[in-house]
Protein backbone atom coordinates (compact mmCIF):
# COMPACT_ATOMS: atom_id res chain seq x y z
CA UNK A 1 0.00 0.00 0.00
CA UNK A 2 1.14 3.59 -0.60
CA UNK A 3 2.61 5.76 2.14
CA UNK A 4 0.11 6.95 4.73
CA UNK A 5 0.54 10.63 3.78
CA UNK A 6 -0.75 9.96 0.25
CA UNK A 7 -3.82 8.01 1.35
CA UNK A 8 -7.35 9.31 0.86
CA UNK A 9 -10.87 8.05 1.49
CA UNK A 10 -13.02 6.53 -1.25
CA UNK A 11 -16.52 5.21 -1.75
CA UNK A 12 -16.69 1.54 -2.72
CA UNK A 13 -19.87 0.60 -4.56
CA UNK A 14 -21.53 -2.67 -5.39
CA UNK A 15 -22.84 -2.77 -8.98
CA UNK A 16 -26.03 -4.84 -9.39
CA UNK A 17 -28.86 -3.60 -7.20
CA UNK A 18 -26.81 -0.56 -6.18
CA UNK A 19 -25.78 1.28 -9.35
CA UNK A 20 -27.71 -0.86 -11.82
CA UNK A 21 -31.19 -2.35 -11.51
CA UNK A 22 -30.97 -5.96 -10.30
CA UNK A 23 -32.46 -8.35 -12.86
CA UNK A 24 -34.26 -11.57 -11.96
CA UNK A 25 -32.49 -13.51 -14.73
CA UNK A 26 -28.78 -13.78 -13.80
CA UNK A 27 -27.82 -14.24 -17.47
CA UNK A 28 -29.12 -10.72 -18.20
CA UNK A 29 -26.20 -9.34 -16.16
CA UNK A 30 -24.09 -10.04 -19.25
CA UNK A 31 -26.36 -8.09 -21.62
CA UNK A 32 -25.49 -4.40 -22.10
CA UNK A 33 -29.02 -3.77 -23.41
CA UNK A 34 -30.36 -4.66 -19.95
CA UNK A 35 -28.36 -1.95 -18.15
CA UNK A 36 -30.63 0.50 -16.33
CA UNK A 37 -29.57 2.75 -13.49
CA UNK A 38 -31.12 2.53 -10.04
CA UNK A 39 -33.11 5.47 -8.66
CA UNK A 40 -31.16 8.74 -8.22
CA UNK A 41 -27.77 7.18 -8.98
CA UNK A 42 -26.67 10.07 -11.18
CA UNK A 43 -27.10 12.91 -8.65
CA UNK A 44 -25.65 10.73 -5.88
CA UNK A 45 -22.50 9.96 -7.85
CA UNK A 46 -22.22 13.59 -8.95
CA UNK A 47 -22.26 14.66 -5.29
CA UNK A 48 -19.60 12.08 -4.35
CA UNK A 49 -17.40 13.04 -7.28
CA UNK A 50 -17.76 16.76 -6.48
CA UNK A 51 -16.70 16.00 -2.89
CA UNK A 52 -13.52 14.40 -4.24
CA UNK A 53 -14.24 10.75 -3.49
CA UNK A 54 -12.73 8.15 -5.83
CA UNK A 55 -15.61 5.88 -6.94
CA UNK A 56 -14.56 2.23 -6.95
CA UNK A 57 -16.93 -0.56 -8.01
CA UNK A 58 -16.48 -4.00 -6.41
CA UNK A 59 -18.82 -6.66 -7.78
CA UNK A 60 -19.33 -10.41 -7.51
CA UNK A 61 -19.88 -11.81 -11.00
CA UNK A 62 -20.18 -15.57 -10.52
CA UNK A 63 -22.28 -15.68 -13.70
CA UNK A 64 -18.94 -15.74 -15.52
CA UNK A 65 -17.80 -18.80 -13.61
CA UNK A 66 -21.19 -20.47 -13.98
CA UNK A 67 -21.10 -20.01 -17.75
CA UNK A 68 -24.12 -17.67 -17.88
CA UNK A 69 -22.10 -14.98 -19.66
CA UNK A 70 -18.50 -14.42 -20.69
CA UNK A 71 -15.80 -12.04 -19.50
CA UNK A 72 -16.35 -10.15 -22.78
CA UNK A 73 -20.06 -9.84 -21.98
CA UNK A 74 -19.20 -8.54 -18.51
CA UNK A 75 -16.79 -6.00 -20.04
CA UNK A 76 -19.48 -4.78 -22.47
CA UNK A 77 -21.86 -4.24 -19.55
CA UNK A 78 -19.12 -2.42 -17.64
CA UNK A 79 -18.53 -0.18 -20.66
CA UNK A 80 -22.26 0.50 -21.05
CA UNK A 81 -22.44 1.56 -17.40
CA UNK A 82 -19.38 3.78 -17.85
CA UNK A 83 -20.93 5.37 -20.95
CA UNK A 84 -24.21 6.12 -19.16
CA UNK A 85 -22.31 7.76 -16.31
CA UNK A 86 -19.99 9.65 -18.67
CA UNK A 87 -23.06 11.26 -20.26
CA UNK A 88 -23.39 13.02 -16.87
CA UNK A 89 -19.65 13.71 -16.46
CA UNK A 90 -19.20 10.94 -13.89
CA UNK A 91 -16.07 8.79 -14.02
CA UNK A 92 -15.58 5.58 -12.09
CA UNK A 93 -12.04 5.39 -10.72
CA UNK A 94 -11.91 1.60 -11.11
CA UNK A 95 -14.06 -1.50 -11.37
CA UNK A 96 -13.05 -4.85 -9.86
CA UNK A 97 -14.95 -8.10 -10.22
CA UNK A 98 -14.84 -11.64 -8.87
CA UNK A 99 -15.84 -14.39 -11.35
CA UNK A 100 -15.57 -17.21 -8.78
CA UNK A 101 -18.06 -19.27 -6.83
CA UNK A 102 -17.04 -21.90 -4.25
CA UNK A 103 -19.55 -24.55 -5.38
CA UNK A 104 -21.59 -23.53 -8.45
CA UNK A 105 -18.95 -22.53 -10.99
CA UNK A 106 -17.05 -24.43 -13.65
CA UNK A 107 -13.31 -25.05 -13.20
CA UNK A 108 -11.13 -22.99 -12.92
CA UNK A 109 -13.70 -20.60 -11.46
CA UNK A 110 -14.96 -23.07 -8.84
CA UNK A 111 -12.85 -22.05 -5.89
CA UNK A 112 -12.82 -20.40 -2.51
CA UNK A 113 -11.13 -17.06 -3.09
CA UNK A 114 -10.41 -13.86 -1.24
CA UNK A 115 -12.07 -11.67 -3.87
CA UNK A 116 -15.66 -12.91 -3.55
CA UNK A 117 -17.57 -10.73 -1.12
CA UNK A 118 -18.01 -11.07 1.87
CA UNK A 119 -14.22 -11.52 1.62
CA UNK A 120 -12.44 -8.17 1.25
CA UNK A 121 -10.06 -8.98 -1.63
CA UNK A 122 -11.64 -6.62 -4.19
CA UNK A 123 -11.68 -3.75 -1.71
CA UNK A 124 -8.08 -4.46 -0.72
CA UNK A 125 -7.10 -4.46 -4.38
CA UNK A 126 -8.72 -1.07 -4.89
CA UNK A 127 -7.18 0.35 -1.73
CA UNK A 128 -3.69 -0.75 -2.74
CA UNK A 129 -3.98 0.42 -6.36
CA UNK A 130 -5.38 3.86 -5.54
CA UNK A 131 -3.85 4.76 -2.18
CA UNK A 132 -7.12 4.48 -0.27
CA UNK A 133 -7.38 4.72 3.50
CA UNK A 134 -10.23 3.03 5.36
CA UNK A 135 -10.54 6.23 7.42
CA UNK A 136 -13.39 8.22 5.91
CA UNK A 137 -14.15 5.55 3.28
CA UNK A 138 -17.53 3.87 2.80
CA UNK A 139 -18.88 0.65 1.30
CA UNK A 140 -22.36 0.97 -0.22
CA UNK A 141 -24.30 -2.05 -1.47
CA UNK A 142 -27.56 -3.96 -1.39
CA UNK A 143 -26.40 -7.13 0.38
CA UNK A 144 -25.07 -8.04 3.78
CA UNK A 145 -22.04 -9.56 2.00
CA UNK A 146 -21.13 -6.05 0.79
CA UNK A 147 -21.31 -4.78 4.36
CA UNK A 148 -19.16 -7.64 5.65
CA UNK A 149 -16.49 -7.06 2.98
CA UNK A 150 -16.15 -3.43 4.03
CA UNK A 151 -16.22 -4.28 7.71
CA UNK A 152 -13.35 -6.75 7.21
CA UNK A 153 -11.04 -3.85 6.31
CA UNK A 154 -12.46 -1.28 8.71
CA UNK A 155 -14.76 0.47 6.24
CA UNK A 156 -18.32 1.16 7.43
CA UNK A 157 -21.13 0.04 5.18
CA UNK A 158 -24.49 1.46 4.16
CA UNK A 159 -27.08 -1.10 3.07
CA UNK A 160 -29.44 0.09 0.34
CA UNK A 161 -33.05 -1.05 0.08
CA UNK A 162 -32.69 -1.21 -3.70
CA UNK A 163 -31.82 -4.57 -5.27
CA UNK A 164 -31.87 -7.25 -2.57
CA UNK A 165 -31.39 -4.89 0.36
CA UNK A 166 -34.84 -5.27 1.87
CA UNK A 167 -34.01 -8.92 2.68
CA UNK A 168 -30.89 -8.00 4.66
CA UNK A 169 -32.08 -4.70 6.18
CA UNK A 170 -33.18 -6.25 9.50
CA UNK A 171 -29.61 -7.49 9.97
CA UNK A 172 -27.77 -4.19 9.46
CA UNK A 173 -27.74 -0.95 11.43
CA UNK A 174 -26.99 1.60 8.68
CA UNK A 175 -29.74 1.47 6.03
CA UNK A 176 -30.82 3.89 3.29
CA UNK A 177 -33.64 3.66 0.73
CA UNK A 178 -31.46 4.70 -2.25
CA UNK A 179 -27.89 5.64 -3.09
CA UNK A 180 -28.93 9.31 -2.96
CA UNK A 181 -30.13 8.86 0.63
CA UNK A 182 -26.93 7.05 1.59
CA UNK A 183 -24.82 9.87 0.17
CA UNK A 184 -26.81 12.79 1.60
CA UNK A 185 -27.67 11.28 4.99
CA UNK A 186 -24.50 9.34 5.80
CA UNK A 187 -21.49 9.95 3.58
CA UNK A 188 -21.37 13.72 3.02
CA UNK A 189 -22.43 14.78 6.54
CA UNK A 190 -19.57 12.66 7.97
CA UNK A 191 -16.92 13.70 5.46
CA UNK A 192 -13.46 13.67 7.00
pLDDT over 90 at 5, yes or no: no
Domains and CATH numbers, the chain: 17-190 (3.40.50.1000)
Three-state SS for 60?
strand
**Average of per-residue pLDDT values in the chain:** 95
Residue 192: pLDDT band by 50, 70, 90 thresholds? low
Q: Which residues of 73-98 are buried (b: 16+ CB within 10 A; e: fewer)?
A: bbebbbebbeebbeeeebebbbbbbb
Average of per-residue pLDDT across 76-93: 98
pLDDT over 80 at 170, yes or no: yes
pTM: 0.95
Q: Known catalytic residue: 142?
A: no
Looking at the DSSP bridge assignments, the partners of residue 58 are 96
CA 18 to the chain's CA centroid: 7
Three-state SS for 10?
coil
Q: Known catalytic residue: 168?
A: no
Per-residue pLDDT reduced to its tens digit, 20-70: 999 888 888 999 999 999 999 999 999 999 999 999 999 999 999 999 999
Average of per-residue pLDDT across 172-180: 97
Residue 111: pLDDT band by 50, 70, 90 thresholds? very high
Average of per-residue pLDDT across 129-150: 98
Amino acid sequence: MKAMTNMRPAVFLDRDGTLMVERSDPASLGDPQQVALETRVIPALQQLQAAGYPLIVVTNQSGIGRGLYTVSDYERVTQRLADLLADHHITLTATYHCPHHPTHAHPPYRQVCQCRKPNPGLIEQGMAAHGISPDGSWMIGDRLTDMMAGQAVGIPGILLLTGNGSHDAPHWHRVAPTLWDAVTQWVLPRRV
